[in-house]
């Protein structure tokens, strides 16, 4: 192999590496992983492995030396993906805020989770047992949250809940510390 071919091979390898970084970073930001689905990372790693092997086999029939880059890239992509996956989880930590409210003699807890953007309303029946009323996802709309579940749409604004099916009026919430 000549010096020119070696430089060309290294240049193509660096180019593939840079493309991998940008594509995998974009892909992970679309997945938006959270700590409770980290088991799912293995299925994504298998996709990366499979795509690189498939490209390597196709390129093998065209240019054998360049196909070696894709086989090596399989391992490198695995590490890059793991890095971006863990980085996303560290930069977008899971947190939960709870609010308690009462309607007549019934006590409820509104739980708002960040990463993922979920909420849930539970009725507190006894101190050790509670009952799930509704669960869903929320969207930030201005300075309020639009809480959407299969049954209803509610609004959370300034420690107030509006549109809850049990009491559609404005409900004052108290934050649980």
Do 87 and 7 share a structural domain? yes
Q: What is the mean pLDDT of residues 147-165?
A: 88
CATH of the domain at 166: 2.40.128
Do 84 and 12 share a structural domain? yes
Do 30 and 85 share a structural domain? yes
Q: What does DSSP assign to residue 115?
A: T
Which pLDDT tens digit goes with each residue over 96-144? 889 999 888 888 889 998 877 889 888 888 766 678 888 888 988 888 9
Which pLDDT tens digit goes with each residue over 42-76? 778 888 888 888 988 998 898 888 888 888 888 89
Select from 42, 64, 91 the last residue of a domain.
91
Looking at the structure of the chain, the number of domains it has is 2
Do 116 and 133 share a structural domain? yes
Select from 39, 71, 91 the last residue of a domain.
91
pLDDT band at residue 35 under the 50/70/90 scheme: low
Per-residue pLDDT, 124: 85
Q: Mean pLDDT over all residues of the chain?
A: 85
Do 15 and 61 share a structural domain? yes
Which residue, 115, 133, 143, 128, is CA-closest to 34? 115
Alpha-carbon distance values, 103 to 18, 57, 124, 167, 170 (Å): 57, 65, 12, 7, 11
Domain that holds residue 80: 3-91
Measured torsion, CA atoms of residues 35, 129, 177, 165, in degrees rounded to the nearest 10: 90
Joined together, the tokens standing for residue 24 give: 């995998």
Joined together, the tokens standing for residue 60 give: 């093998």
Q: State the alpha helices, DSSP H only, in the chain.
A: 3-31, 41-62, 64-91
Q: State the alpha helices, DSSP H only, in 64-147.
A: 64-91
Q: How far apart are the first and last CA of the chain?
A: 68
Do 115 and 41 share a structural domain? no
The yes-or-no verdict on residue 37 having pLDDT over 70 is no
């Amino acid at each position: 192999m000549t010096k020119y071919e070696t430089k060309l091979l290294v240049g193509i390898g660096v180019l593939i590496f840079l493309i991998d970084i940008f594509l995998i970073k974009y892909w992970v930001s679309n997945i938006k992983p959270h700590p409770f689905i980290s088991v799912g990372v293995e299925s994504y790693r298998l996709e990366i492995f499979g795509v690189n092997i498939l490209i390597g086999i196709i390129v093998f029939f065209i240019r054998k030396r360049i196909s070696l880059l894709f086989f090596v890239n399989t391992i490198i992509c695995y590490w890059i993906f793991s890095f971006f996956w863990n980085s996303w989880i560290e930069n977008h930590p899971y947190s939960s805020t709870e609010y308690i409210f009462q309607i007549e003699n019934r006590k409820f807890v509104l739980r708002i989770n960040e990463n993922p953007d979920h909420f849930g309303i539970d009725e507190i029946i006894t101190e050790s047992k509670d009952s799930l009323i509704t669960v869903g996802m929320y969207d930030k709309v201005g300075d309020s949250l639009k809480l959407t579940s299969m049954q209803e749409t509610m609004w959370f604004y300034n420690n107030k809940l509006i549109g809850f099916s049990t009491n559609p009026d404005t409900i004052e919430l108290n934050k649980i510390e």
